[in-house]
Amino acid sequence: MKKPYIFCHMIVSIDGKIDGTHKALPERKSSADFFYNVAFGEDSHYDMQAWLSGRTTTDEAFTKYKEPDVDKSAAPVPEGDFIVETDLPKYYVSVDPSGKLAWDNNTLKYRDTKAHVIEVLTEKASNEYKAMLRKLNISYVIAGKDALDYEVLMEKLSDLFHIETLMLGGGAVLNWSFVQAGLCDEVSVVMAPFADGSASAASLFETKEGLSTDTPVSFDLDHVESKEDGTVWLRYKVKN
């Protein structure tokens, strides 16, 4: 299968949580800056063209669980994908199988990084949702009928957008589904020296019924680096 090189890059607490009240601690900023620079900074370790996010992560960070502004009487859109030319250096690839996200723009900004949005839909997404994306000039690809077809997605990201290196950027459900599908090549964990003991906050990886199971996976340790502020950077190759 033709596919980009995929690394999962996440910042976690010392108990492996990717969310929780510890994120609000001002002292965590230097770990968060290191996390950003590894993937997005001027001298970044990775040279990626895109990062991939799950629907919940996008709703939390950008679209805020609003209702998409669709026109129920929109004319039928042409079959297939919709590709928009962009000058921006990065793509934000949003896995949104049913077409739920309330975009109002075809770009987003994460710190200093501006990216063009690509929506990853399945055939479940409605005509009116695709019409809204076209109106906003948001690229979309159809990958699968009812469930995400990983192979189709990998080929489209490679062939249509020339993505060679892709960051798997969370959340927990998206990350684990890609690891379980055998698509993740490397895991980069930035461990920030904080915790909050939350019993409900998501961990680095989580199963979701219908998307993934708890089949174990092994990793080879590739790199360990510690920083003066207590941040630890771990990189693993996935034993696929």
Ligand X SMILES: NC(=O)c1ccc[n+]([C@@H]2O[C@H](COP(=O)([O-])OP(=O)(O)OC[C@H]3O[C@@H](n4cnc5c(N)ncnc54)[C@H](OP(=O)(O)O)[C@@H]3O)[C@@H](O)[C@H]2O)c1
Nearest residue (CB) to ligand X, 78 versus 108: 108
Residue 20 contacts ligand X per CB under 6 A: no
Q: What is the 3 state secondary structure string of 3-37?
A: CCEEEEEEEECCCCECCCHHHHCHHHHHHHHHHHH
Measured from the CB of residue 87, what is the shortest distance to ligand X in angstroms?
A: 26
- Residues 141-180: x/- map of binding to ligand X (CB under 6 A)? -------x--------------------xxxxxx--x---
Torsion-angle region of residue 174: left (phi > 0), alpha (psi -120 to 50) or beta? alpha
Residue 231 contacts ligand X per CB under 6 A: no
Nearest residue (CB) to ligand X, 148 versus 184: 148
Measured from the CB of residue 39, what is the shortest distance to ligand X in angstroms?
A: 10
Instruction: Give the DSSP H or E segment for 129.
Output: helix 127-135
62-68 long-range contacts, Cβ below 8 Å, gap at least 24? 62/108, 63/101, 63/102, 63/103, 64/102, 65/102, 66/102, 67/102, 68/99, 68/100, 68/101, 68/102, 68/103, 68/129, 68/132
Please pick, from the candidates 102, 136, 152, 211, the single residue that binds ligand X as defined by CB under 6 A. 211
Nearest residue (CB) to ligand X, 73 versus 215: 215
Name 7's bridge partners: 167, 186
Tell me the two tokens of residue 77: 């859109």
Nearest residue (CB) to ligand X, 77 versus 211: 211
Residues numbered 44-103 forming contacts with ligand X, rule: CB under 6 A: 54-57, 60, 95, 97-98, 100
Residue 3 contacts ligand X per CB under 6 A: no
Nearest residue (CB) to ligand X, 131 versus 189: 189
What is the C-alpha radius of gyration for the chain, rounded to an integer number of angstroms?
Answer: 18
Measured from the CB of residue 14, what is the shortest distance to ligand X in angstroms?
A: 13
Contact residues for ligand X, defined by CB under 6 A:
10-11, 18-19, 54-57, 60, 95, 97-98, 100, 148, 169-174, 177, 202, 206, 211
